[in-house]
Structure 1
Amino acid sequence: MTSEFAGKVAVVTGGGGVLCSTLAKALSGQGAKIAILDLKLETAEKVASEINSLGGEAIGVACNVLEIDSLKEAHQKVLELLGPCDILVNGAGGNHPKGTTSKNYLLPEDLESTEEGLKTFFDLDPEGIKFVFDLNFIGTLLPTQVFARDMVGKKGSIINISSMNAFTPLTKIPAYSGAKAAVSNFTQWLAVHFSKVNIRVNALAPGFFLTEQNRTLLTNTDGSLTDRGNTILSHTPMNRFGTPDDLTGTLLWLCGEGSAFVTGVVIPIDGGFSAFSGV
């Protein structure tokens, strides 16, 4: 039986990363043609090569999601080699140390502390915070401006990547939490805006997934959990971190006809984290 995704073109930004490369491979496994967009061409081509070796059809494209000209060049290449975009996964995103505090809470003595490397709220770098907002929000908005035009007049699906910290902010990371809240809000706004041209817009909100970005925050060098890692698992009823494959079922549902009347939702994929009060 032919998959509903057969022949469709899916563009995945940040596609060189662990989570988004898995999403790309899931769509390829259902017959979609894949464009892997990543800041590093080598990384994008590596994932595309892996997909092709599995019998799929994929290309790797260098692209900076914060530069409209770079996105337009990538779009032209996708058009020429694969065709117009049917599915857009806005996967580019991330945090920055300059937008992160050292401690969960501010204590009076922190203001007089000479501890090396201590960073309070008052020490946060505006440029670091701006970088995080740009990467997550502008890095979702601009690719949508460039690729969603292909979808007007036919069925299209846009999947943004939010986070559980968009619902309730996590300690230490005000910039990332705020930026992902903006992505969730934008998902709802865009779903309404595009509702008359048959483009659905939804978002995945991953809980805690062990990636290269957060591995040092959640695990020690010997593989044991840090205090933060232990706190997370104690508040996750399923008592484990997510794996990339945990995202794929929801992705395929939101991109397919099974969710034809679903738009503007942000789906938690969090092992029960958001349902647990901590007691």
Structure 2
Amino acid sequence: MNILDRFSLKGKVVVVTGGTGILGKAFVKALAEAGAKICVIGRNEERANERVRLVQTLGGDAFAVVADVMDEDSMRSAKDLIIRKWGTIDGLVNAAGGNIPGATIAPDEDIFDNKIGHTIKAIELNLYGTIIPTMVFGEVMAEKGVGSIINISSLAASRPITRVLGYTVAKHGVDGFTKWMASELALRYSNKIRVNAIAPGVFLTEQNRTLLTNVDGSYTDRANKFVQGTPFSRLGDPSELEGTLVYLLSDAAAFVTGETIFVDGGFNSWSGV
């Protein structure tokens, strides 16, 4: 197999949770272009069907399942549908997550006025919303001894970022879970099952739009600080995550597991001086 063939996902069945989000859309598009068959999972039926139509316009094969990553039974039902349709699962992208407005501490709030219940919900969505699908869909990969799982980490797991306590705690958990699952699946099942994470830099999404943009569309002071802290001096575009995603899911990354890959324009590397 030549090197270009190793990057192909042709015929592989990949599940994308949170496929209805902005980053999820970029992921679905990239997978379709790489030849994968895609199951788009999300809670918004209209957007999930839009993603399916996007894949079809690219000549790919996809279908949507309306399901909740926080509900194990919902995930198991989705798994059954996929197995009935395509017979297997080769990859999983855990893209469901994001911040919760009530879990964001405003600049004029005391941190101890933080809404603890909302913070816990943010932790559950980002951490449990990664663990539950992995345990459900990962079992299929373990049984056949082949597969690749991609989790979504964050800059917040390596650098303290103000105001987003729950999100920060959750993404630290995602990094730990990535390493743990990578080790356990390889040791117990097969060295052809891999688990990695992508840590995006700052990308404008629906979840962070109010933190990063003003009503008139201009950047907030917070967004400008991110830009100033990034050697590339700009925010990222979701399309810039696509290459890393395809690589980690493909046979080209056959000896890569337990890693978190930063796609952040240099933010995590720079000292600021």
Q: Is the 8 A contact 2:100 2:207 kept in 1?
A: no
Deviates further, 85-94 or 196-205: 196-205
Measured in 2, the distance between the counterparts of 1:102 and 1:223 equals 20
1:148-159 matches, cutoff 5 A: 148-152=138-142, 153-159=144-150
Q: TM-score, normalised by structure 2?
A: 0.93
Alignment of 1:231 with 2:225, yes or no, is yes
Deviates further, 43-52 or 58-67: 43-52
Corresponding position of 1:125: 115
| Unpaired segments ≥5 residues, structure 1 | 104-117
CA deviations 1:174-199 (Å, max 9, x no partner) are 11111111101110111101113231
Give 2:155's aligned amino acid: M
1:130 aligns to what SS in structure 2? Answer: helix
2:120 aligns to what SS in structure 1? Answer: helix
Measured in 1, the distance between the counterparts of 2:160 and 2:24 equals 23
1:150-229 matches, cutoff 5 A: 150-152=140-142, 153-196=144-187, 197=190, 198-229=192-223
Measured in 2, the distance between the counterparts of 1:131 and 1:251 equals 27
Alignment of 1:75 with 2:79, yes or no, is yes
The share of aligned pairs that are identical, in percent, is: 45
Measured in 1, the distance between the counterparts of 2:160 and 2:169 equals 8
1:273 aligns to what SS in structure 2? Answer: coil
Alignment of 1:91 with 2:95, yes or no, is yes
Give 1:231's aligned amino acid: K
Measured in 2, the distance between the counterparts of 1:139 and 1:145 equals 11
Alignment of 1:144 with 2:134, yes or no, is yes
Deviates further, 199-208 or 144-153: 144-153
Corresponding position of 2:258: 264
Tell me by how many angstroms 1:83 deviates: 2.6
Measured in 2, the distance between the counterparts of 1:247 and 1:86 equals 20
Q: State the aligned residue count.
A: 265
Measured in 2, the distance between the counterparts of 1:225 and 1:100 equals 18
Corresponding position of 1:246: 240
CA deviations 1:199-238 (Å, max 9, x no partner) are 1000000010011221221122223221111111110010
Measured in 2, the distance between the counterparts of 1:78 and 1:52 equals 18
Corresponding position of 1:109: none
Q: Is the 8 A contact 1:9 1:83 kept in 2?
A: no
Alignment of 1:22 with 2:26, yes or no, is yes
Measured in 1, the distance between the counterparts of 2:77 and 2:45 equals 13
Select the structure with the greater relative contact order (CA < 8 A; seq sep ≥ 6).
2
Alignment of 1:278 with 2:268, yes or no, is no
Q: Is the 8 A contact 2:99 2:208 kept in 1?
A: no
Q: Is the 8 A contact 1:23 1:248 kept in 2?
A: yes
Tell me by how many angstroms 1:24 deviates: 1.5
Pairwise CA RMSD: 1.4
Larger of the two Rg values belongs to structure: 1
Measured in 2, the distance between the counterparts of 1:268 and 1:210 equals 16
Alignment of 1:46 with 2:50, yes or no, is yes
Q: TM-score, normalised by structure 1?
A: 0.91
CA deviations 1:27-70 (Å, max 9, x no partner) are 11111100000012222111111111221100010010011111
CA deviations 1:83-108 (Å, max 9, x no partner) are 311000001001112222112xxxxx
Deviates further, 147-156 or 225-234: 147-156
Deviates further, 43-52 or 201-210: 43-52
Measured in 1, the distance between the counterparts of 2:211 and 2:75 equals 32
1:267 aligns to what SS in structure 2? Answer: strand
Measured in 2, the distance between the counterparts of 1:128 and 1:214 equals 16
| Unpaired segments ≥5 residues, structure 2 | none
